[in-house]
Amino acid sequence: MSKLVTIYGGSGFVGRYIARRMAKEGWRVRVAVRRPNEALFVKPYGAVGQVEPFFCNIRDDASVRTAMQGADAVVNCVGILVNEGRNTFMDVQADGAGRIARIAAELGVSKLVHISAIGADNESDSAYSRTKGWGELAVLKSFPKAVILRPSVIFGTEDGFFNRFAAMAKFGPFLPITAPLTKFQPVYVDDVAAAAVQGILGEAEGTYELGGPDVETFEDIMKLMLKVIGRKNIVIGLPQVVARTTAAIGDTVQWLTGGLITNRILTTDQLKNLGRHNVVGKSAKTFADLGITPTPMAAVLPDYLWRFRPHGQYEAIQASAKNLK
C-alpha cells in the first residue's frame, strides 16, 4: 500500500499545493480540516480515493490523533493572521503546533514538516510572531528532527496579499499602505510546497527561511502590482498616528462585540510586524540548500491578477483596438 501523509490545514492556501504535489508523488493524502465539506475540491488532485478531506480540530488531542492514525508523515500548515473566536494565536500557532508534534512522536510518525514564518521569535512583542516562535520550540521539543519552513509573504492565485491590495486599487485614485519602506521577499506558494515535499521525503533537514528572488520595499511591491493590473493609483504611506488609530479602533470594535466582528483591516499586532523587514537572514538555510530556484513575482502575478485590470481579460484586446484606423 502507498504511504500516507496527513496535512493539517491541507485545504488552505499552502496546504492545497502540498497535497497536489504529494498526490503526484503517489502518496495517499489525508487533508485534515475543520470543515471537510468545504474541502471537497482537493479530491481531484489524485486518483479516486487518493486525496480525502478529514475532520479535525487541532485544539483537541483526540481529533488530532485520529487524523494522524497510520500516517507515515505529517505536515502542519495551520496558521492565522488574526485572533478569531476560540482560534487564538496561542491556541493555534503555539499549543496546536506542539500538540501535532507531540502526538506525531507518540505514534512513531517518520517525518514532520512544520510551516512557520520569517520573523518567528518567542521573545517578540508581536503575539503573531511570538506564538510562531513558541510553536517552533514546542515542535522541536517533541520532534527534534522536524523540518521547519519559514516563508516570507507568500503569493499565488489564492493569496490574501496581492488579491487584497489589487481589489483595493479598484476604488479611488489612491492606494494607502502602512510602513511603505519595510522590505519583503515574496515567495511563490508552489516553491514553498516543493520545499515541504523534500522534508516529507527525507531530502531536507533543519530550519529553512524561504524567500523569492525579489527583495523590495512594500511601496515598490505595490507599484509592481499596479503595473501588472494596469492601474495608476498613487501609493500613499499612512502616517503612523493614522495607522495606529485605525488599528486601535478595529481592535476595540472586535473586543466590544466579543469577537462577533473580526478586525480584518489592520490590527495593532500586524502593525508591529509591518515595522520589521521580512527577508531571509544572511546565515539561514534557504532554497539554495534545497536545490530549488525560486520563482520571481513577475512570472506569476499576471496569471491571476488580470481580473483586476480595468477591462479584465479583454485588456490586451482593448489596447490593440486603439491602434485601429
Quick one: pLDDT at residue 321? 65
- What pLDDT score was predicted for residue 212? 98
Q: Does residue 165 register a pLDDT over 90?
A: yes
Report yes or no on 152 lying in a domain: yes
Torsion angle of C-alpha atoms 205, 30, 7, 154, degrees rounded to 10? 110
- Whether 239 is in a domain gets the answer no
Q: Out of 213-217, 257-261, 317-321, pick the least confident.
A: 317-321
Structural domain includes residue 51: yes
Q: Which domain holds residue 207?
A: 4-158+185-213+277-294
Q: In 10 A of CB 201, how many CB atoms?
A: 15
Please report the pLDDT score of residue 110 as a whole number. 98
pLDDT at res. 85? 87
- pLDDT for residue 225: 98
Whether 56 is covered by a domain: the verdict is yes
Cα 35–Cα 192–Cα 141 angle in degrees, nearest 5 = 75
The answer to whether residue 222 sits within a structural domain is no
Provide the pLDDT confidence category of residue 91 given band limits of 50, 70 and 90: very high
- Taking 90 as the threshold, does the pLDDT of residue 86 lie above it? no
When pLDDT is averaged across residues 188-195 and rounded to a whole number, the result is 98
List all residues 6 or more positions away from 127 whose beta carbon is below 8 Å from its beta carbon.
83, 89, 90, 269
Total tally of structural domains belonging to the chain: 1
Name which of 194, 219, 215 is nearest 279 in CA terms.
215
The mean predicted confidence, pLDDT, of the chain is: 95
Mean pLDDT of the 110-129 span: 97
In this structure, of 6-15, 269-278, 307-316, the range with the lowest mean pLDDT score is 307-316
Q: With 90 as the cut, is the pLDDT of residue 83 above it?
A: yes
SS3 letters for the chain? CCCEEEEECCCCCCHHHHHHHHHHCCCEEEEEECCHHHCHHHHHHCCCCCEEEEECCCCCHHHHHHHHCCCCEEEECCCCCCCECCECHHHHHHHHHHHHHHHHHHCCCCEEEEECCCCCCCCCCCHHHHHHHHHHHHHHHHCCCCEEEEECCEECCCCCCHHHHHHHCCCCCEEEECCCCCEECCEEHHHHHHHHHHHHCCCCCCEEEECCCCCEEHHHHHHHHHHHCCCCCEEEECCHHHHHHHHHHHHHHHHHCCCCCCCCCCCHHHHHHHCCCECCCCCCECHHHHCCCCCCHHHCHHHHHHHHCCCHHHHHHHHHHCCCC
pLDDT at position 155 is: 98
Considering the domain boundaries, does residue 145 fall inside one? Answer: yes
d(CA 19, CA 319): 39
- pLDDT bin (cut points 50, 70, 90) of residue 319 is low
CB 150 within 8 A of CB 291: no
List the CATH number of the domain containing 14. 3.40.50.720
Question: Is residue 238 in some structural domain?
Answer: no
**Sign of the four-CA dihedral 122, 271, 164, 217:** negative
140 belongs to a structural domain: yes
Residue 229 to residue 241: CA distance in whole angstroms: 30
pTM for this prediction? 0.95
Cell 493555534 found at: 92
Cα separations in angstroms, 232 against 169, 173, 312, 318: 9, 7, 15, 17
Q: Indicate whether 204 pLDDT > 80.
A: yes
